[in-house]
Amino acid sequence: MKVVAFNGSARKNGNTAMMINYMFEELNKEGIETEMVQLSGEHPHGCIACYQCFKKKDGRCIVDLDCINSCIEKMVAADGIVLASPTYFADISTEMKALIDRCGMVSRANGDMYKRKLGAAIVTQRRGGGIHAFDSMNHFFTIGQMIIVGSSYWNMGFGREKGEVANDSEALQVMRDLGQNMAWLLKKLHT
């Protein structure tokens, strides 16, 4: 079993990556393989609405200038997909939006490639706007016929400067609970 997380933060190894890693600790304890893909520095482009993915139906985006096809391959190979983003102007980062639009479009064009995989969204924020970002990522899961894993509260942490999210004890517990819930459900589905 494997869970892949996509970190949509412009900052590598910042608060968003920390939140993912707290969740990963619980998955790793249960013997579940994890991988984090950091979109920082990758500069994924948005969907150009060419609809070639619907014509070709080869599980790929025709625009092969960035990391998106690699991300699609990782999503297909994983049992669980985590989308994580900081909150920028009450929404997800541009990197995360590009990932959602292109990976989502290719999936739809190819019979919902992520259907019945587990999904979870993680948000970091300075103060507010995180619920909208959380919803934006969860919409990717629902339209793709995926199963959303819940936790003991909304999957979000507070912090602006790198490392500040570690001071949010509730967020850390929510990440531990999310990891435990995802591990439990993965084991149930693979019994």
DSSP state string for the chain: -EEEEEE--SSTTSHHHHHHHHHHHHHHHTT-EEEEEE-TTT-PPPP----HHHHH-SSS-S--SSSHHHHHHHHHH-SEEEEEEE-BTTB--HHHHHHHHHHHHHHHHTT-TTTT-EEEEEEEESSS-HHHHHHHHHHHHHHTT-EE---SS-SEEE-SSTTGGGG-HHHHHHHHHHHHHHHHHHHHHT-
Least Cα distance to 137 among 176, 84, 79, 69 occurs for 84
pLDDT reported for residue 191: 86
Quote the percentage of the chain above a pLDDT of 70.
100
pTM of the model: 0.97
Residue 121 contacts by C-beta under 8 Å, 6 or more apart in sequence?
A: 82, 83, 84, 85, 134, 137, 138, 141, 148, 155
Rounded Cα distance between 172 and 191, Å, is 29
Q: What is the pLDDT along the chain (191 residues), one digit of tens a residue?
A: 999 999 999 999 999 999 999 999 999 999 999 999 999 999 999 999 999 999 999 999 999 999 999 999 999 999 999 999 999 999 999 999 999 999 999 999 999 999 999 999 999 999 989 999 999 999 999 999 999 999 999 999 999 999 999 999 999 999 999 999 999 999 999 98
Packing angle between helix 94-109 and helix 130-143, nearest 10 degrees?
10
Q: Dihedral (C-alpha) 155, 80, 6, 24: value to the nearest 10 degrees?
A: 60
